Every structure is written in structure tokens, then in C-alpha cells.
Structure 1
């Protein structure tokens, strides 16, 4: 099963890479985490949740720990598209300067974030077509970025698994 899920992760990465992007410019970074790095990520997610008091980092860490792999996607750099559209909150693209926030850099060019979302959607579509359980996890992206597993201004993680019951959705909810 591990070999099949490793192939699914690679095909998800391919889908993210070939997804359409604004002006044909690719600012999406892609990395697959497995093995010992997967367990280090899960441990760090639990620690982050305890340290910050933010809920469900432990719950999502349990899913990551049981996953075969995690696909990480990030926006490599905060480079505006150049439309001067104001979607980021600035009047002109040359006014956009991101600052490090508590978990990510912001503000970001809305079009680059859309590119990241399209890549993410393409990746999870591929996992779904191949019947691999998956879930988009903001929390995995936060901690993977802090650990240096992936760089960039904003990151997201998608763990994948193949069990008889989807471990990423059949889980308790904390408030």
C-alpha cells in the first residue's frame, strides 16, 4: 500500500505543477514529506498546539502521523502579478510589501494565492480520482513552514492515506 500511496503523492505533485497559473509564472513550491519527517511534523504540530493554545493541532497531528505521506504546497515568494487591481489591499502592486505574521506572510497578491489554490485543487482532485483519502490541512502547512520543511509566504499540507475508513474526516471535533 505504501508504494501505491507514494505514487499517488507524486501524481498529486504533478497535478499541482501542471495546474494553470497567472501569466504562466509558477511560484508554487511542492514537497512530499514521508517517513521520519512525517513523524517529526506530527510531533511539531502537537507541540505548536500546546504552546499556542490553538485547538485541533493535536487532532490533525494524529491524522498526519497515520498518513503515508503529506503533500506540501507553498507560495515561494510574495511577488505581485502586476495588475494594480487592489485585491491585496494596496492601490498598486509596487506598494505590496508583506510582513511576517504569526503564521504566514501577508498581505499577499490575491492572484498568486489563487494560483496556489488552483494547484491545491488539482492535487486533491488527483488523489480523489485515485481513491486516496486526503484532507487539506492548514495546520500542517503552518508547522511545516515553521520547521523549514517547505519555504514560502504561505503553505498548506495534504496528508494522504488508504484505510477502510477515512481517518481525516471520521474524527472528533474540539471546541
Structure 2
């Protein structure tokens, strides 16, 4: 049997994404409480939808880098999403800027600092796994920020997206900054 890499690439990248999701799930947690949610998005239609939402959020917010990122993710075969639920940890550490977790509960807009650190560790574990498997990734705040409303990761306040690709040159490197909104929508 002959397996052509070009023909099996997408299947392989889905397998890599699953390993990245496992790495994120098993990443250490600050208090040992699992508040991380993880999903992956595949298929041209679904990735295009994420691209369009990222573009729209760029128009809404005026954040120009979102236009670049909305185009950039179209070069991914899989996008891994990792987020943290909004849940206090009951430590009363004040790292979030509020003295107690009881007071923090009155401000859902402010994430628990412990949860944000756990999110960073999970994202780092996922991209380290991808690097070990020699696929290209980039951590994108923009896409996660844009797609929160889709509900892929319920109850998550903060989401990061990680597009995944395997090509002769990393499409997520040497990106040109967008100085203005593109003339046409994607």
C-alpha cells in the first residue's frame, strides 16, 4: 500500500488536533480544578464562518489585525479552540484585582486570574504538542474573541484559537500587517 502525504494530510492534522486537545486537557491546573473547555473546527465551510465572524469583529472594534487574521485562518485545515469557564476558585487571592471571590462574583466581566493562568498553560501544552509533531500553528486571541457568541465553548469568557496547518512554509509566520480594512469582504 502507498500512502500519499498530500492525500492523508487533512486526516493527519485532525489527529494532531485531537492530541493537542488531550494535551490541553491534561495540562496542570493552578488549583487542580478543570475549568478548561476545548473543541476543534474542521471543514472549509465552518472555518470560513469563523473567518467571516473575525472579519466582522474587526469592523465592529476597529482592530485592524483581525482583518489579517480572518484571511490567515483560511489556510488552516483545523482550528483548535481552548477557553476557560467563568468560575471563581475560592482562593480569595486578589490576583484578579478584587479582594475576595464573593466580591468577584458580582463582576462576571472580570475573569478569575487563576483560570486565565490555567488557560495559558493549556494553550502552551497544546502548541508544544503541535511543535513536537512538526505542524504549524499560531495562537490567535482575535479568532477566539470573535467567535464567543457561537457557543462552541459554553460559559467561556476567554477563548484562544489555534489554527493548524502542514505545508512547505508556515502560513502563520511572516504575515503582513493590515493597515486598513480590506476593500472586499472575504
Question: Considering the TM-score relative to the shorter chain, is it more than 0.5?
Answer: yes
* More displaced 10-residue stretch of structure 1: 32-41 or 49-58: 49-58
Determine the structure 2 residue equivalent to 1:51: 60
Pairwise mapping of residues 28-107 of structure 1 onto structure 2 (< 5 A)? Answer: 28-35=36-43, 36-76=45-85, 78-97=86-105, 99=107, 106-107=109-110
What SS does the aligned partner of 2:40 have? strand
Moved over 4 A (4+): none
Tell whether 2:130 aligns with 1:127. Answer: yes
Gaps in structure 1 of 5+ consecutive residues = 100-104
In the alignment, is the contact (CA less than 8 A) between 1:48 and 1:143 conserved in 2? yes
Separation (CA, whole Å) in 2 of partners of 1:51 and 1:93: 33
SS of equivalent to 2:147: helix
TM-score of the pair, normalised by structure 1:
0.91
Instruction: Tell whether the 8 Å contact from 2:88 to 2:105 is kept in structure 1 after alignment.
Output: no
RMSD between aligned residues: 1.4
Give the structure-2-normalised TM-score.
Answer: 0.85
List gaps (5 residues or longer) in structure 2: 1-8, 180-186
Q: Deviations along 1:82-137, whole A, 9 cap, x unmatched?
A: 221111111111110365xxxxx631111111111111100000001111100000
In our comparison, the structure showing a higher alpha carbon Rg is: 2
**Aligned length, in residue pairs:** 169
Match in the other structure for 1:102: none
**Aligned partners of 1:97 and 1:107 also within 8 Å:** no
